Copies of this chain bind each other. A is one copy, B any other.
Amino acid sequence: MVAEVIAIGSEMLFADRIDSNSLYTSAQLERFGISLIAKTVVGDDLTMIRKALALALTRADFIFLTGGLGPTEDDLTRQAVSEQLGLELVYHPEIVRQIESRFQSLGRSMPEINRRQGFILETAQALENSEGTAPGQYVQFEGRNIFLLPGPPRELQPMFQKYVIPLIEQLGLRPRSFRYFRIAGLPESRVDSLVAPIYRQYPDIQSTILASPGDIELFFFAENDARLAELAEKVTAELGDNIYATEEISLEAAIARLIKERGVTLSVAESCTGGMVGEWITRTPGSSEFFLGGVVAYSNSLKIDLLGVPPEMLRDQGAVSEEAAKAMADGARRRTGSSYALSITGVAGPGGGSESKPVGTVFIGCSHAGRTIAARFQFPGNREVVRLLSTRAALNLLRKELQMTNVEVRMTNEE
Measuring CB to CB, which residues of chain A are less than 8 angstroms from any residue of chain B?
A: 13-18, 23-24, 26-27, 30, 35-43, 45, 48, 51-52, 55, 58-59, 208, 210, 268, 270-283, 285-288, 291-299, 301-302, 305-306, 335-337, 348-352, 383-384, 387
- Give the docked Cα–Cα distance between A288 and B320 (Å): 14
- A9 nearest CB across to chain B (Å): 12
Q: How many copies of this chain does the complex contain?
A: 2
Given known A-B contacts A13-B39, A43-B37, A306-B306, A285 and B349 have beta carbons under 8 A apart? yes
Q: Contacts A13-B39, A285-B349, A288-B352 given; 12 further ones with Cβ under 8 A?
A: A13-B35, A14-B26, A15-B23, A15-B24, A48-B59, A270-B278, A274-B280, A278-B296, A279-B279, A283-B383, A291-B299, A302-B336
**Inter-chain contacts of A42 with B (CB < 8 A):** 37-38
Known: A15-B30, A18-B18. A293 touches B297 (CB 8 A): yes
A-B contact pairs, 29 of them (CB 8 A): A13-B26, A13-B37, A14-B26, A15-B30, A16-B27, A37-B43, A38-B40, A38-B42, A38-B48, A39-B41, A48-B59, A51-B55, A52-B55, A268-B296, A271-B293, A274-B280, A275-B278, A275-B279, A278-B298, A282-B298, A286-B351, A288-B299, A294-B295, A294-B296, A294-B302, A296-B296, A301-B337, A305-B336, A306-B335
Contact A38 B43 (CB under 8 A): yes
Which residues of chain B are within 8 angstroms of A384 by Cβ–Cβ distance? 283
Which 8 interchain pairs have the tightest Cβ spacing?
A275-B275, A274-B282, A275-B278, A15-B27, A293-B298, A293-B296, A275-B279, A292-B299
- Give the docked Cα–Cα distance between A40 and B276 (Å): 37
B295 close to A274 (CB less than 8 A): no
Instruction: For A40, list chain B residues within 8 Å (CB).
Output: 38-41
Q: Which B residue's beta carbon lies closest to that of A271?
A: B293
B298 touches A306 (CB 8 A): no
Q: List B contacts of A297 (CB < 8 A).
A: 293
Nearest neighbor of A39 in chain B, beta-carbon distance: B41
Do B293 and A295 touch (CB < 8 A)?
yes
Q: Which interface residue of A14, A27, A335, A383 has the most chain B CB atoms within 10 A?
A: A14
Chain B, residue nearest A22 (CB): B41
Partner of A208, one of B14, B26, B282: B14
* Interface hub of A210, A272, A299, A350 (most chain B Cβ within 10 A): A299
Chain B residues contacting A349 (CB-CB under 8 Å) are 285
